[in-house]
Amino acid sequence: MRDSDAEYLILVDKNDNPIGTEEKVKCHLPNGKLHRAFTVLLFNKDRNLLLTRRSSNKMLWPGDWDGTVASHPRQSETYVSSAERRLPEELGISCKLDYLFKFEYHVPYKNIGSENEICGTLIGIVDDPSKIKLVKEEISDIKWVTLDDLLEDVKKSPHLYCPWMIVALYFLSESKTDVLSEYRSILSVWVRSDVKHILEEPLRYHFPDKKWGLKK
């Protein structure tokens, strides 16, 4: 019997075709069922990235630093529409978002559960950061970071950062050409030629079996 109070996620095949739904918790236990997700990267006009710290009550990666928002589309939602819905629920702001790319990854968290997702990556620019208001059940803290500061800290302390965020940063240079052009004033720094090389070591820390890759 379907639990009317449970949150259901979209199960997908390797080509991101929907094949059913499953309760959120069951999608993450024990090795995870492949499902659809998204991650959002919000920047300010100074080309700094907004990171959020996951609440300590999260089942997986509690207290770790993430991209701006990460969650799951509902049935009938696109990656963009689901992320635009979720932003005010977690940060109290609305923002136009654009789709960059998607990737697949599978990574366990201790002996608790796993993430097994095809993850759409989205970008936006925050016009007025002063309007951000944290929803404490989801996010415990925020910080704006430059590329160099983030790369230095991720390389030094990869265990403090969510693995999917590092994958998303790694593939920024693989974004849709038209979106790269639209956001070139922001992304020209973040797709610098040395970024991938620097992130390879943190990715090996999280993915010793290399279960991550770009989806075309």
Q: Given this model, what pLDDT does residue 134 score?
A: 87
Q: Is the pTM of this model over 0.85?
A: yes
pLDDT of residue 17: 97
pLDDT at 5: 66
Nearest alpha-carbon partner for 195 in 178, 177, 175? 175
pLDDT in tens, the chain (216 residues): 555 568 999 999 999 999 999 999 999 999 999 999 999 999 999 999 999 999 999 999 999 999 999 999 999 999 999 999 999 999 999 999 999 999 999 999 999 999 999 999 999 999 999 999 988 888 999 999 999 999 999 999 999 999 999 999 999 999 999 999 999 999 999 999 999 999 999 999 999 999 999 998
22 is catalytic: no
Fold of 8-146: Nucleoside Triphosphate Pyrophosphohydrolase (3.90.79)
- Domains of the chain by residue range: 8-146
Structure confidence at residue 4 (pLDDT): 54
Contacts of 105 (CB under 8 A, 6+ apart): 115, 116, 117, 119, 163, 164, 167, 207, 211, 212, 213
- Tell me, rounded to whole angstroms, the distance of Cα 211 from its chain centroid: 16
Instruction: Check residue 3 and give its pLDDT.
Output: 59
CB distance 65 to 55 below 8 Å: no
**Which one is catalytic: 84, 104, 115, 117?**
117
The C-alpha atoms of residue 94 and residue 53 are separated, in whole angstroms, by 19
Cβ(107)–Cβ(211) under 8 Å? yes
Strand, coil or helix: 153: helix
Residue 153, both tokens: 């800290």
